[in-house]
């Protein structure tokens, strides 16, 4: 059965979509079967995967609205080599409609459960707010990957997200766990980065990934070409960082599985 990872942080501009697209592509390089779900109405993960959000026959909106089925919506992101549930501005309507829907928190879980066996990893790109779409992602997920910058307001936002994850765990998804905290746009020359970095390890210890994602021009350029960075410039520091993250994530999961069986 596939492992479902929500890439979440209520703060915008922390590298959520960059992480979703590039982690999915890096897991694919390791021969894993991967599905990326774009749950953000901005559709940036869709465009960054080489799919034009403006020319979709159907999107994840129709799935959440129960108007169609998974196979009618899923597309192959050829450049990235993974499957994608694409998104566009229609998804704003889904968020409004879900507010009054029955079992509204479970819509995405009900979409994922029948197809989970097809994939090794399902990666969900969440919107940059704690809305009903993000709640759906957290209810459907096994783990949460939290990208964050080492800056002044980051820890404050992180504590609010932890409270939300705790509330989701208590009410809807008791097995939800924090998969890891990923430091993005990392600049070790910055004094504030070093201070926040130290606080992160004090509070969260081994939950913080050892891998850091540096500021990288190639990483920023890749989406405009509709490609993950590993397909755009595999020698770049950004590509190497996300490959390292995929490796670290896989190692952690293998160790957890070994401990559970042992």
Q: What value does the mean pLDDT take over residues 221-236?
A: 95
Walk across the sheet containing 82-85 and list its strands. Answer: 75-77, 82-85, 34-38, 121-125, 3-7, 143-149, 177-186, 208-214
250 pLDDT higher than 90 = yes
Confidence of residue 158 (pLDDT cuts 50, 70, 90): confident
pLDDT at 184: 93
Domain borders along the chain are 3-261
Confidence of residue 187 (pLDDT cuts 50, 70, 90): confident
∠ CA 143-230-19 to the nearest 5 degrees?
30
Q: Choose which CATH entry (1.20.58.1290, 3.40.30.10, 3.60.40.10, 3.40.50.300) describes domain 3-261.
A: 3.40.50.300
**Per-residue pLDDT tens for 97-110?**
888 888 899 999 99
Q: Is the pTM of this model over 0.85?
A: yes
Confidence of residue 151 (pLDDT cuts 50, 70, 90): confident
pLDDT at 193: 85
**Per-residue pLDDT tens for 52-99?**
999 999 999 999 999 999 999 999 999 899 999 999 999 998 888 888
pLDDT at 85: 98
């Amino acid at each position: 059965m596939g492992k479902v990872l929500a890439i979440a942080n209520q703060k915008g501009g922390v590298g959520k979509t960059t992480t979703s697209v590039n982690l999915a592509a890096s897991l694919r390089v390791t021969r894993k079967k991967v599905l990326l779900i774009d749950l953000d109405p901005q559709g940036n993960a869709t465009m960054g995967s080489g799919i034009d959000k403006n020319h979709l026959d159907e999107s994840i909106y129709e799935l959440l609205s129960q108007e169609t089925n998974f196979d009618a919506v899923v597309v192959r992101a050829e450049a990235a080599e993974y499957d994608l549930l694409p998104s566009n501005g229609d998804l704003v309507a889904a968020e409004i409609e879900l507010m009054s829907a029955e079992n509204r928190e479970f819509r995405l879980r009900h979409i994922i459960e029948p197809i989970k066996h097809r994939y090794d990893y399902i990666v969900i790109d969440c919107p940059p707010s704690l809305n009903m779409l993000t709640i759906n992602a957290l209810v459907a997920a096994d783990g949460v990957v939290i990208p964050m910058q080492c800056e002044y307001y980051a820890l404050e936002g992180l504590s609010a997200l932890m409270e939300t994850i705790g509330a989701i765990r208590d009410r809807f998804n008791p097995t939800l766990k924090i998969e890891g905290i990923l430091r993005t746009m990392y600049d070790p020359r910055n004094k504030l980065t070093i201070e926040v970095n130290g606080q992160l390890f004090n509070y969260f210890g081994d939950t913080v990934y050892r891998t850091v994602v540096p500021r990288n021009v190639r990483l920023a350029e890749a989406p405009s070409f509709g490609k993950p960075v590993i397909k755009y410039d595999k020698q770049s520091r950004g590509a190497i960082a996300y490959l390292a993250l995929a490796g670290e994530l896989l190692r952690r999961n293998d160790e957890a599985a070994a401990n559970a069986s042992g």
